[in-house]
């Protein structure tokens, strides 16, 4: 039986995540308060889409929360995400809850309240900086003065040149590093021997004029050795 995943909120993030989960064979239901976003989501016939406020028990019930294996709260409001995870865990007995979090100071509290996994983008970036192995590379790649730094997420799809490659073999520009890898419910800080898999989301940290080069190399649109 397919693993059943319930996504609550998230707008464009929900669309990207839902597609990734469907490609991996999960059964996905999405709750979104924006009717316009629901219309876009409903274009994918494999998705079950519910329009409504995912922090309300009646909406969760309509979405079949009682049958879900995983609930992922993606709204922009930390408080709403906590309420959603609490309802999913305690009222609907969903085994695993995951919450997006804006304020890293709330991480311990979310875990204390029973959320199984908390994902905070700020904490991910902070963790990268704290990794001594990345310090020299970060210092050399972050421009100064009028330069800019760009952080972007790159989904790895079937057929991409990066699939099954080790990080050390990617030959990315010096100004680009893979800060972390989002793999299902895991957030990985990559090492040289970390292998890239289809379905991974690579978080790239780069100077503004090198991210496109890196993406083209990872996708296979440029020669691997430029």
DSSP string, 36-70: HHHHHHTTSTT-EEEES-TTSHHHHHHTTGGG-SE
Has residue 178 got a pLDDT over 90?
yes
Q: Is the alpha carbon torsion for 119, 199, 40, 67 positive or negative? A: negative
Helix (H) or strand (E) holding 135: helix 132-141
- Token pair belonging to 146: 């009028």
DSSP 166: B
Nearest to 117 by CA among 182, 23, 198: 182
Q: Collect contacts of 55-59 with beta carbons under 8 A, ≥24 apart.
A: 55/8, 55/80, 55/83, 55/84, 55/87, 57/87, 57/91, 59/31
Interval 93-106: pLDDT, tens = 999 999 988 888 89
Predicted pLDDT of residue 137: 38
Three-class DSSP category at 215: helix
Q: What is the mean pLDDT of the chain?
A: 82
As a whole number, mean pLDDT of residues 43-72 equals 93
Has residue 51 got a pLDDT over 80?
yes
Least confident of 20-24, 47-51, 58-62, 82-86: 20-24
Predicted pLDDT of residue 2: 80
Angle between helices 132-141 and 121-130 (to 10 degrees): 100
- Token pair belonging to 18: 């839902």
Has residue 191 got a pLDDT over 70?
yes
Q: What is the pTM of this model?
A: 0.56
């Amino acid at each position: 039986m397919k693993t059943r995943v319930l996504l609550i909120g998230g707008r464009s993030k929900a669309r990207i995540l839902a597609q990734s989960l469907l490609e991996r064979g999960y059964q996905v239901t999405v709750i979104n308060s924006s009717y316009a976003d629901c219309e876009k989501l409903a274009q994918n016939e494999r998705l079950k889409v519910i329009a409504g406020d995912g922090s309300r028990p009646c909406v969760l019930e309509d979405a079949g929360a009682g049958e879900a294996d995983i609930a992922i709260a993606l709204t922009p409001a930390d408080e709403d995400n906590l309420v959603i995870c609490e309802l999913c865990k305690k009222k609907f007995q969903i085994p695993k809850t995951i919450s997006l979090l804006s304020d890293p100071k709330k991480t311990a509290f979310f875990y204390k309240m029973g959320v199984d996994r908390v994902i905070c983008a700020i904490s991910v970036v902070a963790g990268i900086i704290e990794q001594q192995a990345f310090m020299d590379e970060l210092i050399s790649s972050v421009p100064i003065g009028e330069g800019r730094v760009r952080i972007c997420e790159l989904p790895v799809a079937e057929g991409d040149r990066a699939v099954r490659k080790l990080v050390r073999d990617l030959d990315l520009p010096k100004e680009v590093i893979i800060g972390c890898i989002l793999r299902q419910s895991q957030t990985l800080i990559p090492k040289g021997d970390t292998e890239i898999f289809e379905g991974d989301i690579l978080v790239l940290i780069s100077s503004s004029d090198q991210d496109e080069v890196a993406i083209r190399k990872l996708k296979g649109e440029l020669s691997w050795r430029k």
